[in-house]
Amino acid sequence: MPIELSKEQRQQAIASIERYFEQNMDGERIGNIAAGALLGFFLEEIGPSLYNKGVADAQERLLMRVQELDIEIHEDEFRYWPRQGAARGGRR
């Protein structure tokens, strides 16, 4: 599944790449087209690794929550008679 950005996200990412080059590459500038191509490369080459990591993290979180379900919503069974016995002074 290719990773796609909205038009606005793509514009913001390209602007961020341009700013990064200007501030961290000794003032070297990267053009809008080159920044867009670099973004496309990152999305295609590195994006799937990040996406898969996010999916794996979400699965791990969900699994932990599912494993806690029995603790959080557990109900003791067959409680009627023990309560009745206590209410009547221990008679059965």
Whether pTM exceeds 0.75? no
What does the alpha-carbon distance between residue 28 and residue 8 come to, in Å, rounded to a whole number? 25
CB 14 within 8 A of CB 39: yes
Other CB atoms within a 10 A radius of the CB of residue 4 amount to: 9
What does the alpha-carbon distance between residue 34 and residue 21 come to, in Å, rounded to a whole number? 11
pLDDT band for position 69 (50/70/90)? Answer: confident
Asked whether the CA dihedral 43, 19, 15, 35 is positive or negative, the reply is negative
Model confidence over 17-64: pLDDT tens digits? 999 999 999 888 999 999 999 999 999 999 999 999 999 999 999 999
